[in-house]
Amino acid sequence: MLCDDEDEEKSVGALPKKRQTNSRQGFRRQHHKIKIPQLKICPQCKQARLSHHACPNCGTYRGRQVIPVRERRAATE
């Protein structure tokens, strides 16, 4: 019987000894907030783009064409 009890204790695993307060919960979650994306102006087309990313409008990165530009269907039609 003793052996059975030990097995049960092992199967439970680690459990917190005390409940965390609402304040501590808030401290942990203080980094969960959303950040505003760091937008930079594209030197080619002067539109907003994410820094360290290729421009979604003209497809260039550091003055080099990295994504082939496709024509906008909405503009042509």
State in angstroms the smallest separation of the CB of 76 from Zn ion: 19
CA 72/CA 33 separation, integer angstroms: 35
| 45 touches Zn ion (CB under 5 A) | yes
| Alpha helices (runs of H) in the chain, residue ranges in sequence order | 2-12, 22-28, 73-76
Number of residues that bind Zn ion (CB under 5 A): 6
Q: For Zn ion, which stretch binds (CB under 5 A), given 1-9, 17-25, 27-35, 50-58?
A: 50-58
Given a contact cutoff of 8 angstroms between Cβ atoms, the answer to whether 52 and 66 are in contact is: no
Q: For Zn ion, which stretch binds (CB under 5 A), given 2-10, 15-23, 32-40, 52-60?
A: 52-60
Residue closer to Zn ion (CB basis): 26 or 37: 37
CA 58/CA 31 separation, integer angstroms: 34
